Chain A
Amino acid sequence: MAIRRKLIAGITSLLSLMLSGVVQAATELNMRPGVTETSIEAYNLHMLVVWVMVAISVVVFGAMIYSFIFHRKSKNPTPATFSHSTQVEMVWTLIPILILIYLTIPAVKLLIKMEDASDPEMSIQVTGSQWKWHYKYMEEDISFYSNLTTPEAQYDETNGQGKEKGVNYLLEVDNRLIIPADTKVRFLVTAEDVIHSWWVPDLAVKKDAIPGFINETWTNVPKVGVYRGQCTELCGKNHGFMPVVVEVVSKEDFKKWVSAKADEKVAAAKAAAEAAAQSWDMEKLMALGETTYKVSCAGCHQASGLGIPPAFPALKGSPIATGPVDGHMNIVVNGKSGTGMAAYGPQLTDAELAAVITYERNAWGNNTGDKVQPADIQAFKAGNK
């Protein structure tokens, strides 16, 4: 039934597309020229090679079509007998070589330019992990994670949801990478677990993020705006769900943002201290725990706590979630290397960590009754060092 409904919907929308005769504004036929010098040059080179290929097809396919029409048996009952010509063969070996040289020269120039990351004005470390990006401003005391914000209710249609999708569906994040305009920014790209690839089409920047190695790339964006891209290297289950969003702001706004970030950090430290100072009751822990779990944990361990074993173990009745609290804190705070379980210590606040651990120990029938307080997390982290 659902399939038929979808087919009918598809056919109607196809028909309306054909009848209207206009392609929807959102649909693009060609590469975007982008906004940086290099992206525009890459676009121009792309167009050059497209037109060269079109010209070659006109000649080659034209000759073929001429043959189909005028050299068919009814028109040309006695075939010619030639079967080679050294001169002709020399010509059509040489002409492609000349065309290739013509294409190679601008390509070499542009490649050398794109790979020259020297003399940057600022550097940002970009770290991919399953399935989010982490940005660290090397010259400032700023670093944060960037997670997809499109809710599951928009994409998971298997349970009747997901009909309404936002404009930036799957291309929206909680924390955008903010960079100043007219500044040569160097990106140091790496990964924590598997290979990812950081791509922003409008900047013509694509670089693989490889665990254990640091790659270098750069951009210099003249235009203020928001530019969206995606991870382009298969990195596991949620490969399609780790977008890249770069917001380019003016130099003044960037300075303001940097100082606002510093204030935010002070405020966050204060809030953490306050949270640690008080004792949270079960209700409050469970409420915050459930929200945090849905955002950070349910992608793998599932809202039901059943996980997708063996890659993503069940938490319901699991030996860790029902065993000693220390072990549970350890795996959440420090992660487990060689698996998709990242270290959440640096990603969440102490209160969130405490709440989510409490939630995991008491939800889905894991009725341990344990309460983990933000202060416990603080103590655990201190003991960790």
Chain B
Amino acid sequence: MSDHHPTGITRWLYTTNHKDIGSMYLWFSFIMFLVGGAMAMVIRAELYQPGLQFVQPEFFNQMTTMHGLIMVFGAVMPSMVGLANWLIPMMIGAPDMALPRMNNWSFWILPFAFTLLLSSFAMEGGAPNFGWTFYAPLSTTFGPPSTDFFILGVHMMGISSIMGAINVIVTVFNMRAPGMTMMKMPLFVWTWLITAFLLIMVMPVLAGTVTMMLTDRHFGTSFFDAAGGGDPVMFQHIFWFFGHPEVYIMILPAFGVVSEIIPAFSRKKLFGYSSMVYATASIALLSFIVWAHHMFAVGMPVAGELFFMIATMLIAVPTGVKVFNWVATMWQGSLTFETPMLFSIAFVILFTIGGFSGVMLAMAPVDFQYHDTYFVVAHFHYVLFPGAIFGTTAAVYYWLPKWTGRMYNETSGKIHFWLSMIFVNLTFFPMHFSGLAGMPRRIPDYNMMFADFNMWASIGAFGLGLTQVYFLISIIIAIKSGKKAQEKQWEGATGLEWDALPSPAPYHTFSTPPKVD
């Protein structure tokens, strides 16, 4: 094992090291998280009170669109790939990812993709303004000129994601240490393997969608234009065939993270390991047959609505199994509540609340009342913020000692947790109420009956935003001057990264594979 590594800017430009690339992914996603978060602040400032105070509707639409795109493709997805890069080789006893040069390329595409996307703010007509779901014909015939930059940007993100996914699959199948059988792999590796398959299956569909948009816009086709024999609803079918698995792409790795952390701080093995694997796989399979539950109002035949309603409700079963297994893992354990554990527990509780509203939304006859209101906004932010983002945050606190050899300050971790916990609920819980009261999503101004809840949500959002800046500062302090971490920082931690490697993990690890029994 050697700790020698190149220096200077070329270390980062040319690197094929999974740890370097993992760090770059994580930092990139954090920057995008702040950029997308700043846009959320603009949205919440405008919605703080009825009336238009700060921005005009056309700019407001650009904010909601870019906030969604940046958070989904720039913050959540790259953060998960960053974790995969850092952790999968160490967890399965591999020296690196299987395809290191492709790994480098798949990261370095991203800054260019997002530069293209963000440059659209400077263009005539402004940035894309049709929502992150870019429904045709608003995004085709009626889209601003910058839509073409958006299309190219999405293509590049897609290529990056597909290469990342290929890398994970090849690594997991070929690079496991002797004795590391599939059913011995840490659950994080399993959830990422399944996520990678989802990515490979749906990112090309997204690429197809935006290509059809491009030809509709410039080459005279009419895929999504009824006047030429096309169908705007077909856009939604294709988009959500990508979009629904995409939702699980963002959450499955976080399932894996908490499945590592909860056993560690319960000092007890994960309950029902194999049922966790099967539940994850079932969720992934079901995600391909439920897409039209996003489209109950488009006028599908009743038979179609019934099918998508029932299939969607079925997802609650494997998801329930996962939640019950996490609770059973804690049951009669020996619990301590360090920051990663706090974030994981909050993940389980708040993700479950997001799951509850998910079941409600699945029920088509009531969904007519919820659809496209703030109730939906509350639902998906509950699964994304306290879901995906709390998952990543828990992972950062848990593995930071292994990555950097330094410990964060437990008090400041707990402050970060409690502020996040309070503000995330203050931001998103009132949105359930404004949605039920009848407030449509993506509107810049609203009637006074929605005013109270919007004010609460805005105050929560400003607090939540500032809390993440506090997180950034406390992590930088930890990396620079935190206490030295031990090889096995957590009493209950298991896995090769804790048992077979020092902290920080050297630049090159497992040049000779460890033996797993």
Residues of A whose CB lies within 8 Å of any CB of B are: 2-3, 6, 9-10, 13-14, 17, 23-24, 26-32, 38-39, 41-42, 45-46, 49-50, 53, 56-57, 60-61, 63-64, 67-68, 71-73, 76-85, 88-89, 92-93, 96-97, 100, 103-104, 107-108, 110-112, 114-115, 154-158, 162, 165, 167-171, 189, 193-195, 197, 199, 201, 204-208, 210-213, 215-216, 229-241, 308-311, 337-340
For residue B275, CB closer than 8 A to chain A, the reply is yes
Known: A83-B268, A155-B445, A339-B142. A193 touches B137 (CB 8 A): yes
Would you list 27 pairs from A and B whose C-beta atoms are within 8 A, ordered by A residue? A28-B433, A28-B436, A39-B369, A46-B366, A53-B356, A57-B353, A60-B324, A67-B335, A72-B336, A82-B332, A97-B317, A100-B313, A100-B316, A100-B359, A167-B448, A195-B137, A195-B232, A197-B372, A205-B368, A212-B226, A212-B231, A215-B298, A229-B438, A234-B61, A236-B129, A237-B61, A311-B58
B379 to chain A minimum Cβ distance, whole angstroms, is 12
Residues of A within 8 A of B440 (CB): 199, 230-232, 239-240
- Which of B21-29, B47-55, B78-86, B112-120 makes up part of the contact surface? B47-55
20 new A-B contacts at CB < 8 Å, known A14-B459, A82-B332:
A10-B459, A17-B452, A24-B452, A27-B437, A30-B433, A30-B436, A83-B271, A110-B365, A111-B309, A158-B56, A165-B448, A171-B447, A194-B135, A194-B138, A201-B369, A204-B368, A213-B233, A236-B138, A239-B443, A240-B446
B330 interface residue per 8 A CB criterion: yes
A89-B321, A115-B305, A169-B447 given; A213·B299 CB < 8 A: yes
CA distance A349 to B42 in the complex (A): 41
Query: Quick one: which of B124, B336, B445 has the most chain A CB within 10 A?
Result: B445
Chain B residues whose C-beta falls within 8 Å of the C-beta of A78 in the assembled complex: 334
Give the chain A neighbours of B137 by CB distance below 8 A: 193-195, 211
A78 and B334 alpha carbons, distance in the complex (Å): 6
Residues of B within 8 A of A230 (CB): 438, 440, 443
Q: Are B448 and A239 in contact (CB under 8 A)?
A: no
- A232: B residues at CB distance < 8 A: 297, 371-373, 440-441
Is B314 on the interface with A (CB-CB < 8 A)?
Answer: yes
B325 partner residues in chain A, CB cutoff 8 A:
89
Instruction: Judge if B31 is at the interface, Cβ distance under 8 Å.
Output: no
Chain A residues with Cβ below 8 Å from B345 are 64, 68
Question: Of all chain A residues, which has the CB nearest B326?
Answer: A64
Q: Is the CB of A89 within 8 A of B299?
A: no
Contacts of A201 in B (CB 8 A): 369, 438
8 nearest A-B pairs in the assembled complex, by CB-CB distance: A212-B226, A240-B443, A215-B299, A80-B332, A83-B269, A232-B372, A110-B365, A79-B334
A14, B49: Cα distance in complex, Å = 12
B145 lies within 8 A of chain A by Cβ: yes
Complex contact A49–B368 (CB within 8 A): no
Contact A71 B48 (CB under 8 A): no
For window 381-439 of chain B, which residues contact chain A by CB distance below 8 Å?
A: 433, 436-438
Residue of B nearest to A213 (CB): B226
List residues of chain A with CB within 8 A of the CB of B275: 84, 89
* Chain A contacts for B270, CB-based, 8 A: 83
Say whether B368 contacts A206, CB under 8 Å.
Answer: yes
CA distance A77 to B513 in the complex (A): 35
Contact between chains at A310 and B336 (CB < 8 Å): no
B257-276, CB < 8 A from A: 266-275
B281 lies within 8 A of chain A by Cβ: no
Q: Does B364 have its Cβ within 8 Å of any Cβ on chain A?
A: yes
Asked if residues A157 and B52 are in contact (CB atoms below 8 Å), the reply is yes
CB contacts (< 8 Å) of B449 on chain A: these are 26-28
Q: Is B323 an interface residue (CB 8 A)?
A: yes
B333 within 8 A of A: yes
Taking the complex as formed, is B468 at the interface, i.e. its CB lies under 8 A from any CB of chain A?
no
**Cα–Cα, bound, A60→B425 (Å):** 19
Within 8 A of A (CB), among B293-332: 297-299, 302, 305-306, 309-310, 313-314, 316-317, 320-321, 323-325, 327-328, 330-332
**Which secondary structure dominates chain A's binding surface?**
mixed
Taking CB atoms, residues of chain A closer than 8 Å to B442 are 234, 239-240
Q: Is B130 an interface residue (CB 8 A)?
A: yes
Taking CB atoms, residues of chain B closer than 8 Å to A239 are 57, 61, 440, 442-443
Partner of A71, one of B145, B299, B331, B352: B331
CA of A30 to CA of B449, assembled, Å = 12
Query: Hey, which chain B residues are within 8 Å of A31, CB to CB?
Result: 369, 436-437
A64 touches B269 (CB 8 A): no
Q: Which residues of B contact A93 (CB under 8 A)?
A: 317, 320-321
CB of B444 within 8 Å of the partner chain: yes
Q: Is the CB of B317 within 8 A of A100?
A: yes
Closest to B315 in A: A100
- Check A42–B317 contact: CB distance below 8 A: no
Q: Residue of A at shortest CB range from B298?
A: A208
Q: Are A68 and B453 in contact (CB under 8 A)?
A: no
For A208, the chain B residues whose CB sits under 8 A away are: 297-299
- In the docked arrangement, what's the CA distance between A6 and B332, Å? 51
Q: Could you say which of A57, A205, A237 has the most chain B C-beta atoms within 10 Å of its C-beta?
A: A237
Indicate whether B349 reaches chain A with its CB closer than 8 angstroms.
Answer: yes
Shortest CB distance A236–B (Å): 6
Cβ B455 vs Cβ A29 within 8 A: no
Given the complex of chains A and B, what is the CA–CA distance between A80 and B299 in angstroms?
Answer: 53
Give Cα A205 to B275, complex, Å: 41
Q: Is B360 an interface residue (CB 8 A)?
A: yes
Residues of chain B with a CB closer than 8 A to A72's CB = 334-337
Query: In the complex, are the beta carbons of A57 and B356 less than 8 A apart?
Result: yes
Cβ-based interface call for B131 (8 A): yes
| Known contacts A27-B453, A201-B438: A42-B369 contact under CB 8 Å | yes
Q: How far is the CB of B31 from chain A (nearest CB, A)?
A: 26
Partner of A64, one of B327, B365, B445: B327
A-side contacts of B92, CB under 8 Å = none
CB of B452 within 8 A of CB of A49, answer no
Chain A residues with CB under 8 Å of B324's CB are: 60, 89, 92
> Which of chain B's residues has its CB closest to A338's CB?
B141
Knowing A27-B449, A60-B324, A165-B448, say if A216 contacts B436 (CB, 8 Å): no
**Bound-complex Cα distance A231 to B373 (A):** 10
Query: What is the distance, in angstroms, from A81's C-beta to the closest C-beta of chain B?
Result: 7
Nearest chain-B residue to A216 (Cβ)?
A: B299
Pair A61/B349 contact, Cβ less than 8 Å:
yes
Chain A residues positioned under 8 Å from B316 (CB to CB): 96, 100
Is the Cβ of A64 less than 8 Å from the Cβ of B226?
no
Residues in B whose Cβ lies below 8 Å from that of A156: 51-52
Is there an interface contact between A207 and B299, defined as CB atoms closer than 8 Å?
yes
- A107, B448: Cβ atoms closer than 8 Å: no
**A71-B331, A79-B266, A83-B269 known; A49 vs B317 contact (CB < 8 Å):** no
Q: Which residue of B lies closest to A162 (CB)?
A: B51
B49 adjacent to A92 (CB under 8 Å): no
In the complex, are the beta carbons of A234 and B124 less than 8 A apart?
Answer: no
Give Cα A210 to B368, complex, Å.
16
Measured CA separation A121–B495 after assembly (Å) = 69
Shortest distance from the beta carbon of A300 to any chain B beta carbon, whole Å: 10
